[in-house]
Amino acid sequence: MTRYHLILIVITLMSSHILSAREYSESYYQDLFCKKPYKKEFVLTDSTRVDCLTDEHAIEIDFAGKWYEAIGQSLHYARMTNKKAGIAIILEKQGDISKLLSLRKVIKHYSLPIEVFRIQSGIFKKRKIASNKSSIIKLSRSGICHTSTSRSYSRTKHYTPFKTIEECLKKGRLPKR
């Protein structure tokens, strides 16, 4: 292997790591969500680990982009512990809401016994707070959900009001950026 190929491989690996970098690690969010008396990283008899075991739930904590994996894991943990299945979905950016909605749609469609919890990152919370300056989310006639931080919010005069972005996204979509 030439030195050129080796450098190319290293750059590729580094750039993929940088592109996939997250605000915080999954472990960070586990620490936030799974406080005492809950059990973090509880090891089951089959050597799998429940991210957070509570009195009622066996909870898988995962990033929004991995919602489909969390379904299987939470159901497995619930079966192994005789507790209710739970998924704590980590929302780091505005686009993660669509993944949360996909998760909820699959759970509803198949009547899965899974409770969903939300973990929002600091940046996302700041955006959400900023978007709540006005108490309503506007669904425009063109089917776009506008928060108060949207460029078109003040120009949107004909709309259907919603209290939350999640409710609005059931009927519409976010603006293209």
pLDDT tens digits, residue range 79-124? 999 999 999 999 888 888 889 999 999 999 999 999 999 888 754 4
Classify residue 60: in a domain, yes or no. yes
86: exposed, middle or buried (C-beta count within 10 Å: 0-12, 13-18, 19+)? Answer: buried
Same domain for 164 and 119: no
> Who's near 26: CB < 8 A, 6+ residues apart?
51, 61, 62, 63, 90
Please give the order of strands across the beta sheet that includes 84-91: 39-43, 49-53, 57-63, 84-91, 114-120
What's the confidence (pLDDT) of residue 24?
82
Total domain count for the chain? 2
Same domain for 117 and 136: no
Q: How far is CA 149 from the centre of its chain?
A: 21
Same domain for 52 and 34: yes
Classify residue 94: in a domain, yes or no. yes
What's the confidence (pLDDT) of residue 7?
54
Same domain for 88 and 52: yes
Classify residue 8: in a domain, yes or no. no
Q: Show the domain range for 152.
A: 132-177
pTM: 0.62
Same domain for 140 and 104: no
Classify residue 10: in a domain, yes or no. no
Same domain for 66 and 32: yes
Same domain for 94 and 37: yes
Strands 159-162, 84-91: pairing kind: unpaired
Same domain for 87 and 41: yes
**Tens of pLDDT along 128-166?**
333 334 458 889 999 988 887 777 888 888 999 988 877
Same domain for 115 and 57: yes
Same domain for 169 and 97: no
For the ranges 5-14, 30-39, 94-103, 133-142, which has the lowest average pLDDT?
5-14
Same domain for 120 and 39: yes
Classify residue 56: in a domain, yes or no. yes
What's the confidence (pLDDT) of residue 19?
42
The residue that leads in pLDDT, 114 or 169, is 114
Whole-angstrom Cα distance, residue 145 to residue 143? 7
Select from 108, 126, 144 the last residue of a domain: 126
